[in-house]
C-alpha cells in the first residue's frame, strides 16, 4: 500500500490537509483534512508498506491495543481507497 503520488500531506497551523498536485487539482471546494492519527498513518503510507507495519508503528507511537490500531488502519485505508488517494 502506498499513497497516490499526486497527493501530498501539508501541515497548516495545527491542522493536516491533503493537497492534490498537477492534474488532480479539480475541485478547489474539497479539502481533505486529517487528524493527528490520520496524518501519522498517511506518513507511513508515503512509502510502500503493509498493514502490519503500520499497526506496529502505531503501537510504538500511541497507547492503543493492537485491535484498535488494526481497526483504525482498516477504516483509514478504506476511506482513502474510496477517495482514490491510494496507489
- Indicate the average pLDDT of the chain: 89
- pLDDT above 70 for 27: no
Return the pLDDT at 35. 94
Question: Model-level pTM?
Answer: 0.85
62-73 CB burial, b ≥16 within 10 A, e <16: eeeeeeebbebb
| Tens digit of each residue's pLDDT (9 = 90 or more) over 33-48 | 999 999 999 999 999 9
Taking the C-alpha atoms of residue 48 and residue 2, their distance in angstroms, rounded to an integer, is: 5
Split into its structural domains, the chain has a count of 1
What pLDDT, on the 0 to 100 scale, is given for residue 66?
97
- Residue 28 has what pLDDT? 53
Over residues 54-67, mean pLDDT: 97
The verdict on residue 43 lying in a domain is yes
Q: Which structural domain range is residue 47 located in?
A: 7-82
Question: Which residues are registered as beta bridge partners of 67?
Answer: none
Indicate the DSSP class of residue 45.
H
Amino acid at each position: 500500500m502506498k499513497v497516490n503520488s499526486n497527493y501530498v500531506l501539508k501541515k497548516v497551523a495545527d491542522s493536516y490537509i491533503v493537497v492534490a498536485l498537477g492534474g488532480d487539482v479539480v475541485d478547489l471546494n474539497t479539502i481533505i483534512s486529517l487528524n493527528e492519527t490520520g496524518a501519522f498513518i498517511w506518513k507511513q503510507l508515503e512509502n510502500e508498506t503493509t498493514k502490519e507495519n503500520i499497526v506496529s508503528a502505531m503501537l510504538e507511537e500511541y497507547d492503543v491495543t493492537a485491535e484498535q490500531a488494526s481497526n483504525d488502519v482498516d477504516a483509514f485505508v478504506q476511506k482513502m481507497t474510496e477517495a482514490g488517494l491510494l496507489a
